[in-house]
Structure formats: structure tokens, C-alpha cells
A and B are shown apart, each in its own frame.
Chain A
Amino acid sequence: MSTVLEVQGLVVRIPLTFGDLSPVRNVGFSVSTGETLCIVGESGCGKSLTSLAIMDLLPSRARRTANRISFDGVDLTAIRERDMADIRGNRMAMIFQEPMTSLNPAYTIGNQLEEAMLRHRKVARSAARERAVYLLEKVGITAAGQRLKQYPHQLSGGLRQRVMIAMGLMCGPKLLIADEPTTALDVTIQAEILHLLASLKREFDMAMILITHDLGVVARVADRVAVMYAGQVVETGTAKDVFSRPLHPYTQGLLRCVPIPGRTKPGEHLGSIPGLVPNLIGEMKGCSFRNRCLHASVECGAIDVTLQQIGPEISYRCILPVAVAAAYGLEATKA
């Protein structure tokens, strides 16, 4: 397994009249070929902006800085916009949340599918069309040849999302970023789309970053998980680690919030996380979760909490669960 994408110290700042808004603060992770990394968090935690920052698709006011964004051997922080445009949609593709709004209503499906391939590869239109039909069949669309002539409004939500996936795969990307790919879909369709993504990832030997707020989706499809809160990664680990032994109080709290048939007793109170996400404008000091944390102490506000690394995969951003680290028989070391 080779590392496809490595991100270190990614920061996004948006200058406002009364200070800088920092929706992404010092985020780092990596994904390898054949691996699915899930970035999970609630709205406003910076998960979508992180993916847009990697693709260099941030809104024009936002400023991106990073120690390192290395994709397939290329340093993305140093390349020209023109070279980035050659990578985007080619070796790195993205699927957006709303298949209703991310397809152009004025062009046929075929037109939109072929576009990326004609842009990036020196191929004839007929070859692009062939590839489009092949991929539409791959994503489970019947009568693919005729579909090419259809417009997005003629397709259902599930079909549109399949078209989006096919579109992302046109140039055979090494990395597929899927931002909430199933949130707008019904549960039965969601299961099918997730199946499809997993099998395509294997077949095309891609790395995948799946961004979602749905803990159920994360648990079922992730190899590794990064939990984000208030612009920071607060916990990383394999899906098994994070869900069976969550280390950060935020992750622990989130998992208590969702009803699980067979485990939570119907009618019983669900857990909750009181309080609100902190304001991300200006300088921040201390742990950003401390105002909602059950275990917060004076110390939490005084020092900047760094990501504690225990083992190669597992890390968390909290000064407290040293006891938990001990339970693993590992020594907590500063990252």
C-alpha cells in the first residue's frame, strides 16, 4: 500500500472585518491506495472545507496554508493553478453531496460525463462515449447508451448520484473524495451506493476519502476514521478502535447520542452533548471542546492540546485520557 495523499498542518483562514475565521486549524492525515478514510464531524467542523482545500476549490476569500499536501508524489502547495487543473477531475476526483445541484441542468448526462475525459486525455469523443457507457453500466444504470442523451432532471436522486460517481471515475482517479455522497438519499438507496463505492474502490484500486456526519456510515465503510471538531482532528484510529474504544470525550459523547436498535432501550433517554460549538473567529487557546466536556478542568483552557500519538494509527487530542492509553499498555507520547 502506497500513500496517495498526505496532508500536514492544513489551515484555512477567512479574513472578516472583525478578525480571521479559522474553520480548519492544523489538520493532518494520510490515505493509501485501497483504503477508505472517513472524516466525520458535525456541521461546521470543517470537514467539507478540508476537502475543498485539498482540491484547491476554496471560495476566493479563503486563504490556505499547509506544511505539506503531497498527492501521488506531487507537492500541491507549490504547483501552479494550471497544473492543479490538470490533476483535478483527472487523478483526483470529487463527488458532491447534492446530486440535484452539482449536475448542470442544461447539458445532457453524456456531455457532462465526456467533458472531463476530453479535457484531460487526448481521446476522440467516441472513445469518451464508450468509457461513459462502460462506467454507467458499472455503477448499475441500465440502458446506459440511451441515458447519455437524457438531462439530469429526467433522473431520480439515486440515479443522479450514480452518474456523479461515474463522472468522478471517468479518468481513473487515484483518489476519490466523496463529500456526504448518500445524505440526500433514501436508506435503501444509501446502502446500494455505499456498496457500489466500496466495490469500485477495490476494482479501480483507488484511495477514498469519505466525508460524512453519519456515524452509521462511518462504522460500516471506513478503514480509518478521523473525527473532527471545531476545525481540528480530535481523534484518529481504525474504525474498530474508534467505535469500540473512543478516546476523546467528544467521540464518546457522539456515540452516546445515537439510538442503536437492540442496544439502546426504547424510551430511555439518549445521551447528549450540552452546549454549543465555540466561535472560530480570532485566536483560540486551549481545548476547543472544553466548554462542552464532562471532564474539563482548568488546565484544559490553559495549554494548547496537541494530538497524542499512541500506536501507529491511534491518536487523540485530549490531555485527560492518559488512563485510557495505559489501558492499551502503551505510553502516551507527545506527537
Chain B
Amino acid sequence: MQKEDRINSHIGGFNADEKGYYGEFGGAFIPEMLYPNVEELRQNYIKLMYEDSFQKEFNQLLKDYVGRPSPLYFAKRLSEKHGCKIYLKREDLNHTGAHKVNNTIGQILMAQKLGKTRIIAETGAGQHGVATATVCALMGMECIVYMGEIDIARQAPNVARMKMLGAEVRPAKSGSRTLKDATNEAIRDWINNPVDTHYIIGSAIGPHPYPDMVTRFQSVISEEIKWQLKEHEGRENPDYVVACIGGGSNAAGTYYHFLDEPEVGIIAVEAAGKGINSGESAATSALGKVGIIHGCKTMLMQTLDGQITEPYSISAGLDYPGVGPMHSHLFKSGRAEFYSATDDEAMAAGLELSQLEGIIPAIETGHAFAIFEHKNFKKDDVVVIGLSGRGDKDLNTYIDYFKLA
């Protein structure tokens, strides 16, 4: 595709328009203190991202450093079990163990082009924090990662990784002390350090242009699925693409090149926690309504009074009260089917994948595999599941849950 086409063919429709709106969702609801930073990024991100030199460096790093393309693997035993043709997009095999690094590689190059010297990030499960700390080590940049105090406790291996990579991990001690609060703290840091700092948001959330920028960096996932599926099946488009959704960066990347292909069914699996109506859930599409969180208008879990509520999921990476604006639009417009999986369903699906295919997924990813509890596929259906991350970081949770020790 020509450069201009790559830029323009993905403006509007199910993607962001020039002001960052996906239908009624998106935009940039930011305090004036953030305006210069966000505006600088907005004016430059498309231009910089599609420069030949940027693309060359980005693709080279994805190939040599991240290990892309990630395989599209036909999961024979899982397919037999569930009566359809299941392919796994192996983002778990990326360097650092999840899809998150696609975005951090892109954003660190962006930060360099913008002349920034200091990087901040928020993290939930720690995967984005590790991916950010990794690229900061790679590029020799200062790195500060905000992480909720509770998440620090439940994701100890990733905290250690970040420290070993030279990052400073700062605990977010306010509110629910999880991902939402880590994001607040990172935004406050950016307000306090407006000139030299770039904020690498890890999900398809935040003020425009973040959702679109993150989605474009992650879109390499669906770009690869297309040609890989062609090799396997003789066609580019599967019948379904399935992904788990917290903020939704893995899902956005997995769906991106299929959004305008109506024959491809798009399936999102949210975290229901202990059950949608248990009061301990993170199923935003079921429990949320339109509001403003972290600078964008989107579906979010809140009280009648507009106070953002504290979500719950066994997986720290899905424990977010909102969902990216693209996904709100996909939900509202009916383009995507939304389901939610409970902690128990996700854990069982993770165990099943481990024992049928020899792949231990992240608990976040386990939610996507719980789709088979909720939807029946036809025998000939080709179903691509985003295997967004590996489960090493979750071993303690698995050990406790399944009493493996």
C-alpha cells in the first residue's frame, strides 16, 4: 500500500476521525496543563510514524528485537475439543512475553523524534511496565513506571524485572491502588514535567491521539494475521477474531485490519470478575455508561453521580473501569460481539490451553479462551484468538488458585 493510503484508509469509519472520535466516543478531555504535550503529539504522530526512516527502524526492531512476525499457530487439539478451526496469534512469544512491546517500541521512537529524554508509563499487570522499561534500556532513556500498590504485590516478578531493567517503579497509593490510579499518577507526573517527558500509555485509552496511535502500532498483529492465514487457509479473513479486553490495545491490534471486512466477526471478552452482578467485576460494556476517564469519552464503570468505581478482576491487566473509545464504538454500533468471562472461567480456560497445547497463557489471555463457554462455533469456522501474553508472571496466582504447590 502507498504511504498516503496507509494513513488515510484508516481515518473515520470504525477508526478515529481527525479529532480522535470513534462515533460519539474519544476526543481529548484534558486539563490545559496537558494541552501543549498532547497537541504536539497530535500534530506530529501520523506524520512521524509514516516517515520512511521511522517505518524502517520500527520494522527492523520488531523483526530483530521483538522477534516478529509472531507465529499464527493452528491449535489442533483445542480445535478438536471445541469443534472449529482455532488459530492462535502468538503474541506471547514476543520479547517480554506479550503484545505490549509492539506499542512501546513505536512510542519510544516517537519520543526520540520529539526530542524527549524521560519516559513515564502506567502499568497494571506489569506487562506494559516491563515492555516500557525494556525499550528505555534499549534506548538509554530514564524510565519511571507508576503501578498500583495492590498490583505491585500481586505481580512481584514483573516489578523485579522492571527494576532489573533500570526503571524506577513508583507505587500509586490513592484510590483503588490499581491500574486506574497508576494512570492518574502518570498523568500528574506529566503535568509536573511537561517539557522533557513522554508518557507511553500502554492501552488504547487516554486523550486523542493515544487510542489511535497505540492502535496503529498494535495493528501489526492483524496485518500479519492476514498474510499468515492466507498461507494456512488460502484466505486472508477468518470468520472470527477473538481478543480479551481491558483497555483494549491487544484487541485493537487484533481487530484493526478486519474492522472494515464485514464477513469477519469481531468478538471481545471482558473480565466479569466474580460475576457481572457480583459487585466485583470489570465488565465495562455490561456495567458502564458513557463518561469521561483519563481524557477520553468512553464507556466506563461509574456511580450515578459520575464517580468512577473500582473494578475487580483476578487479572491485573483487565482491572480497568473503562474501555478504549474504539471498543465503545464497536460495542455501541454492534460491529463487535461482547462477552465476559468470570475469574473461574478464565482460569479454567488457561489450564485447558496449558494441557491441550502446552501453552500457559497470561490470565488476561485466559479470558479470551473462555469464549467457548459462551459461544458455539460451526465446524468450518476459522477462529483466530489473540494469545496476547504468556503466563509466567501469573504463576503465583495459578499456584494459589489450583493449589499446585
Q: Do A and B associate with each other?
A: no
Residues of B within 8 A of A (CB): none
Residues of A within 8 A of B (CB): none
